[in-house]
Amino acid sequence: MTLTESAPGYQKLTGHPTALNSSAETSQFWADADRHLIRYGASFSPEIISRAAGSYLFTESGRKILDFTSGQMSAILGHSHPDIVATVQHWIATLDHLFSGMLSRPVVDLARRLAESLPDPLEKVLLLTTGAESNEAALRLAKLVTGKFETVSFSTSWHGMTAGAASATYSSGRYGYGPAAPGNFAIPTPNPYRPDFVTDGVFDWRKQLDHSFALIDAQSVGSLAACIVEPILSSAGIIEPPVGYLTALKTKCRERGMLLILDEAQTGLCRTGDWYAFQKENVVPDILTLSKTLGAGLPLAAVITSAEIEQTAKDRGFLFFTTHVSDPLVAAVGNTVLDVLQRENMVDQVRVKGDYLRAGLLEIQSRHSVVGDVRGRGLLQGVQLVVDRETKVGSDVLGADVTRRCLDLGLHMNVVQLKGMGGTFRIAPALTSTTAELQLGLEILDQAIGEASAAH
C-alpha cells in the first residue's frame, strides 16, 4: 500500500502548528547543536522533537511520527503513560533522592516484587540506573565471588560503555581507546542466518560452541570468572541463539567454575512474550541484569542474583556505592511498570501482537527480495536487508535509505549500521501499541522498502 497525504494515517503535517517556532529559531537550534554538542555515535535525526505521547513523537515542524523503537528500546508502556506520569509527579514532590545508605519503601517493594517474578534462587536485588552500570556491577560481583577475572562474551555483543562492560562489548567501539580490561575473550555469535559451522546443511551450533570453548581454554590463564550474553542479541541485529544453546552454554560455564550472566536490558519484562526471555529455555542465570524496560524510559536498572552469591560478595567486601543506587523515585516508577504489566496481562497481549507484527513482516518479505530474513520474538523483531538472498550480502546503504524514507513517511526506525552486519532493522514498538498502529508501521515500512529498493 502506498501512503499519500489523503490516506488515513498519513503522518506528515499533523500535530500542533500553533506551537511551531520560526525558521530563524530552528536554524539557531541546529547551529547551537553543531557548536556545543559532543557527537557520541550515530548522526542526529533531522527533527526537533517537542513532545511524545503513546506510540507517537511530535516535532516542532508539526509532524507526527510513529515510534517503532520505544525511544531507545525502553519505553515499553509508550511515551508519557498516565500511570508513569502520576507516579513521577507524586514521588518528585515526596521523595526523590537519598543518600545511598538510606532505604525507602519503593526500593524494598521493587526488590521483593522482582524476586517474586523470578525463579529460585534469584532473590537478591541491587537497583541502579543504566544497563552499562548493571552489567558493570554484575561483572564485579562475578569476579569477587569467583576470585577470578576472565570474562567471555559474544563476538557481536553490546553490554555498555563503562570500562568493564565496554571490555565485554565487541560489536563496536573498541578502536582507539587503549587496552581493554585484561582477560576478556570473544566467542562466535551463534547466528543461524549466517552459520559458520554447518553439518548436513544445518547450523551445527554444538560444534561451534565446543570449538569456541576449546579456544577459550587455550587462551585462559586459569581465571575464568563469568560469561555475559544477551538471550537475544539486539545491537547485533536481533539474533536469537538456537534452542538448547543457552543450556549448553551454562554447562560450559559450570564445567569451568564460571558464573553465567544474562543481560536482559531489552528482552526483560514481557518484551518477547515471556516475563523474561530466558524462560523460553528455562535457563536460570547466576546473575540477571535488567535496565531499559524496567524503567519504561526512565533511568532504572537492576542486578539480581542468589542469596549465596550475595553473601559471599558481602563477606568479601563488595563495593558498588554510586550516587543513584537505590533511588526512591525511579524505584517507584519500576513498581508502576510492574503494576501495569500485571494489570494488563501484558505477556498474553505481546504474544498476540507479536504474532501480528511478525505475520506482517513475513508478508513484506514475500513481496520484496531485498528482505533476506525476519527474526525475533514478541515485539522485538529484526528485518535483515540483503543485496542477494543467496549470498546474504547485507546493504548498509539500502538500510539507510529505507530509514530515511520511513521517517519521511512518519515512521521512526532503527537500523543497525555496524560494519559487516548489513542493514538490519531492530523493531521494538511499545507493548501498548494498538493493532492499527502496528499495521500503519508495516504499511510505511513496506512502501519505504519498495521505493528504496527500486531506486537501487
Asked if residue 201 is part of any domain, the answer here is: yes
Query: Reading across the β-sheet that carries 122-128, which strands appear in turn?
Result: 122-128, 301-306, 287-290, 259-263, 224-229, 150-154, 184-187
Respond yes or no: is residue 348 known to be catalytic.
no
Residues 231 and 204 in one domain: yes
Respond yes or no: is residue 292 known to be catalytic.
yes
Asked if residue 216 is part of any domain, the answer here is: yes
Residues 308 and 410 in one domain: no
Asked if residue 114 is part of any domain, the answer here is: yes
Q: Residue 377: beta bridge partners? A: 380
Q: Give me the catalytic one of 11, 64, 264, 266.
A: 266
Number of domain units in the chain:
2
Q: What is the DSSP string of 241-255?
A: PPTTHHHHHHHHHHH
**3-class SS of residue 305:** strand
Q: Of 292, 313, 343, which residue is a domain's last?
A: 343
Q: What is the DSSP string of 31-52?
A: HHHHHHPPP-SSPPPSS-EEEE
Residues 276 and 386 in one domain: no
Residues 171 and 272 in one domain: yes
Residues 162 and 267 in one domain: yes
* CB contact at 8 A, 246 and 278: yes
Using the 8-state DSSP alphabet, how is residue 298 labeled? S
The helix (H) or strand (E) run that includes residue 226 is strand 224-229
Asked if residue 447 is part of any domain, the answer here is: yes
Place of cell 501512503: 3
User: How far is Cα 428 from Cα 419, in angstroms, rounded to an integer?
Assistant: 22
Respond yes or no: is residue 417 known to be catalytic.
no
Triad 238, 239, 241: Cα angle to 5°:
145
Residues 192 and 292 in one domain: yes
* CB contact at 8 A, 296 and 81: yes
340-393 pLDDT per residue, tens: 999 999 999 999 999 999 999 999 999 999 999 999 999 999 999 999 999 999
User: How far is Cα 363 from Cα 366, in angstroms, rounded to an integer?
Assistant: 5
CB-facing half-sphere around the CA of 316: CA atoms within 13 A: 15
**3-class SS of residue 111:** helix
Amino acid 420: pLDDT: 59
Q: Of 343, 374, 404, which residue is a domain's last?
A: 343
Residues 315 and 234 in one domain: yes
Count the residues in the chain: 456
* CB contact at 8 A, 62 and 13: yes
User: How far is Cα 275 from Cα 122, in angstroms, rounded to an integer?
Assistant: 14
Using the 8-state DSSP alphabet, how is residue 21 labeled? P
* CB contact at 8 A, 147 and 224: no
Asked if residue 384 is part of any domain, the answer here is: yes
* CB contact at 8 A, 164 and 134: no
* CB contact at 8 A, 271 and 380: yes
User: How far is Cα 142 from Cα 288, in angstroms, rounded to an integer?
Assistant: 11
Residues 99 and 202 in one domain: yes
Low-confidence stretches of the chain (pLDDT beneath 70): 1-21, 417-422
Respond yes or no: is residue 405 known to be catalytic.
no
Domain that holds residue 373: 17-74+347-455
Asked if residue 287 is part of any domain, the answer here is: yes
Q: Give me the catalytic one of 67, 136, 240, 263.
A: 263
Using the 8-state DSSP alphabet, how is residue 236 labeled? T
User: How far is Cα 158 from Cα 26, in angstroms, rounded to an integer?
Assistant: 35
Which grid coordinates belong to 260? 553465567
Q: Give me the catalytic one of 64, 143, 148, 292.
A: 292
Q: Give me the catalytic one of 124, 426, 437, 447.
A: 426
425 residue type, one letter: F
Residues 318 and 360 in one domain: no
- Nearest partner of 411 among 363, 376, 452, judged by Cα: 452
Q: What is the DSSP string of 157-216?
A: ----SSHHHHHT--SS--TTS-PPPTTEEEE----TTS-SSEETTEE-HHHHHHHHHHHH
* CATH at 102: 3.40.640.10
Respond yes or no: is residue 263 known to be catalytic.
yes
Respond yes or no: is residue 158 known to be catalytic.
yes
**What phi-psi label fits residue 60: left (phi over 0), alpha (psi between -120 and 50 degrees) or beta?**
alpha
Q: Of 292, 312, 343, which residue is a domain's last?
A: 343
Amino acid 20: pLDDT: 55
Asked if residue 1 is part of any domain, the answer here is: no
Contacting residues for 293 by C-beta, under 8 A, at least 6 apart: 74, 76, 265, 266, 267, 268, 269, 270, 271, 337
* CATH at 444: 3.90.1150.10
Q: Give me the catalytic one of 158, 205, 375, 443.
A: 158
- Nearest partner of 133 among 382, 303, 363, judged by Cα: 303
- Nearest partner of 385 among 359, 364, 404, judged by Cα: 364
Amino acid 4: pLDDT: 45
User: How far is Cα 254 from Cα 447, in angstroms, rounded to an integer?
Assistant: 49
256-290 pLDDT per residue, tens: 999 999 999 999 999 999 999 999 999 999 999 99
Residues 411 and 335 in one domain: no
Asked if residue 6 is part of any domain, the answer here is: no
Amino acid 70: pLDDT: 97
Amino acid 423: pLDDT: 86
Residues 252 and 382 in one domain: no
Radius of gyration (C-alpha) of the chain in whole angstroms: 22
* CB contact at 8 A, 159 and 135: yes
Residues 339 and 384 in one domain: no
Q: Give me the catalytic one of 60, 67, 133, 230.
A: 230
